Amino acid sequence: MKESKNKTVVITGSSSGFGYLTTLTLARKGYNVWATMRNSETKNSLKKEELLSIAKKENLKISVIDMNVNSDESVSNAIQSIVNVDGRIDYLINNAGYMFVGITEAYSIQQAKDQFETNFFGILRTTKAVAPFMRSQKEGLIINVTSLAGRLTFPYFGIYCASKHAVEAYSQAMRYELAPFGVEVSIVEPGPFGTNLLFTGPKEDDQEVFNAYGEHKDVPHAMLKNFESFYATDEALDPQLVADKITSLVEANKGTRVERVVAGIDYGVLDYNDKVAPIQESLVKDALQMGHLLTIEK
C-alpha cells in the first residue's frame, strides 16, 4: 500500500454522496483530507460538523474548507490556503456535480450553461488551480468523477450527458499533456447509485416547449420514480463501492493507474472502453507520433 502519511488529498463536493464517503475512506487510510464544499457555514454546516465530529472521534486528519467550484476566486483562494498549510497537494478528486433530468429541449440556454458551469468548468477551475503545484512537484494524481453518461447517452439526460462527455474528453487530453510532468489523470465512471444525484437538478424553464411534448413530458418523472424504486431494493449497490474505486486509484503505484475505472452497473461501458482504448492509443502513438504522452514520467 502507498505510504499515506503527509499525503494531501483535496476532494470537491464532500457534503454528500461519493465525496463524503471518499473523504472518510481516505482519512481512515491515513491521508490528510481537505473536504471542500459550498456553504459550509450555512446550508452544509451540519455536514461540516458531522465530518469534523467523526474526525475528532476517530483521530482522522480531515479539514473542511469552503469552496464553490463555480467561482474562480473561491477555487483559487481555497487551493492557495491548502498549499499554504500543507505545502503541496498530492491528489485532487473532482467529484462535485449535479444532474438535469427532463425534456432536453425545454431547458433554457441559461440552464444548460449552469449545468456546464458546475460539471465541466468547475473541474477546469480546480485543475487549473492545482496542476501548477503538481507539475512543480513532478508528481500528483487528478481523479475526475464522470459517469456512464459520459460514455453513453440516455434519453432525457441530454444536458447532463453533454457535460459529462465534455469532462471525459478534457480528462483524456490532460492525461496525455501532464504525463511528461509526472502527473497522472484518471477517470471514474459510476453507474446508477442511490446518492440523490437524480433529484438535484431544476425543472425545465421553457414551459411552452415542455407542454408541447404532450404525454411524453411525463416520461422523465416516471423514469426517476423507477430509479428511486430500484434504489430501495436489495439489488441496489452501495455507493461505498465508488469511494473504494477512487481509493484504489489513489493507492496504486505511480505509472500503473488506468485511464478509466467503471464502478457498479456498467450497461456495456466496460466493453466500450476496451474497444475504444486501442483506437485512441493508435491515434496518439501512430497517427500523431506522440507515443511519449502515453507513459507517465517517473
Q: Note if 160 is an active site residue.
A: yes
**Considering the domain boundaries, does residue 3 fall inside one?**
no
Mean pLDDT of 74-78: 98
Mean pLDDT of 106-126: 97
Separation of alpha carbons 77 and 68, rounded Å: 10
Q: What is the largest CA-CA distance in the chain?
A: 58
**Considering the domain boundaries, does residue 282 fall inside one?**
yes
Q: Could you tell me if 44 and 125 are in contact, meaning their C-beta atoms sit under 8 angstroms apart? A: no
**Considering the domain boundaries, does residue 134 fall inside one?**
yes
SS (H, E, C) 3-61: CCCCCEEEECCCCCHHHHHHHHHHHHCCCEEEEEECCCCCCCHHHHHHHHHHHHHHCCC
**Considering the domain boundaries, does residue 154 fall inside one?**
yes
User: How confident is the model over 42-55, as pLDDT tens digits?
Assistant: 999 999 999 999 99
Using the structure block, give the residue that is written with the C-alpha cell 491548502: 82
Separation of alpha carbons 217 and 211, rounded Å: 7
**Considering the domain boundaries, does residue 147 fall inside one?**
yes
Split into its structural domains, the chain has a count of 1
Cell reading at 62 = 480531515
Separation of alpha carbons 74 and 139, rounded Å: 25
The model's pTM is: 0.94
Task: Check whether 10 has a pLDDT greater than 90.
Answer: yes
Terminal CA-to-CA distance of the chain, rounded, Å? 18
Helices (H), 35-157: 45-58, 72-86, 109-119, 121-137
SS3 199: helix
SS3 219: helix
Separation of alpha carbons 198 and 156, rounded Å: 12
Q: Residue 289: which residues within 8 A CB-CB, separation 6 or more?
A: none
| CA 62 centroid distance within chain | 19
Using the structure block, give the residue that is written with the C-alpha cell 426517476: 224
**Considering the domain boundaries, does residue 187 fall inside one?**
yes
Q: Where are the beta strands (DSSP E) in 116-270?
A: 140-145, 183-190, 260-263
Separation of alpha carbons 232 and 213, rounded Å: 30
Percent of the chain with pLDDT over 70: 94
**Considering the domain boundaries, does residue 16 fall inside one?**
yes
pLDDT interval class at 1 (50, 70, 90): very low
User: How confident is the model over 161-197, as pLDDT tens digits?
Assistant: 999 999 999 999 999 999 999 999 999 999 988 766 6
Task: Check whether 33 has a pLDDT greater than 80.
Answer: yes
Q: Could you tell me if 237 and 265 are in contact, meaning their C-beta atoms sit under 8 angstroms apart? A: yes
Residue 274 domain boundaries: 8-294
Q: Where are the beta strands (DSSP E) in 118-274?
A: 140-145, 183-190, 260-263
Domain CATH for 73:
3.40.50.720
Separation of alpha carbons 291 and 199, rounded Å: 43
| CA 160 centroid distance within chain | 13
Cell reading at 110 = 441559461
User: How confident is the model over 232-280, as pLDDT tens digits?
Assistant: 665 568 899 999 999 999 999 999 999 999 999 999 999 999 999 999 9
**Considering the domain boundaries, does residue 230 fall inside one?**
yes
pLDDT for 3 equals: 61
Separation of alpha carbons 286 and 189, rounded Å: 27
**List 98, 160, 176, 231, catalytic entry:** 160
